[in-house]
Amino acid sequence: MAVERHDQNALPSLLTLEEVAQVLRVSKTSVYRIVERRELLCCRVGRNLRFTREDVAAYLRARRVGSAASDQ
């Protein structure tokens, strides 16, 4: 029986709650609130939350203010 192997590059890189709080420069409580408002997607692993880098980047992109045209 062949063992199926997964390409590790195909799996998303997961961040912990603490790491997301550091990236966003907010408290862990603030990250919980953002998740409760469903503004940031997460995965549950047991009782822990995990976040993909892509979802954190999308959250930040969605909250950008201004435009490049206004800077000129």
Tens digit of each residue's pLDDT (9 = 90 or more) over 3-59: 555 565 666 789 999 999 999 999 999 999 999 999 999 999 999 999 999 999 999
pLDDT of 46: 96
Domains detected in the chain: 13-62 (1.10.10)
pTM of the model: 0.75
Task: Enumerate helices (H) and strands (E) in the chain, giving the number of each.
Answer: 3, 3
Rounded to an integer, what distance in angstroms lies between the CA atom of residue 14 and that of residue 58? Answer: 14
Say whether 43 sits in a helix, a strand or coil. strand
Say whether 3 sits in a helix, a strand or coil. coil
Any idea how long the chain is?
72
pLDDT of 71: 52
- Other C-beta atoms closer than 10 Å to the C-beta of 32 total 14
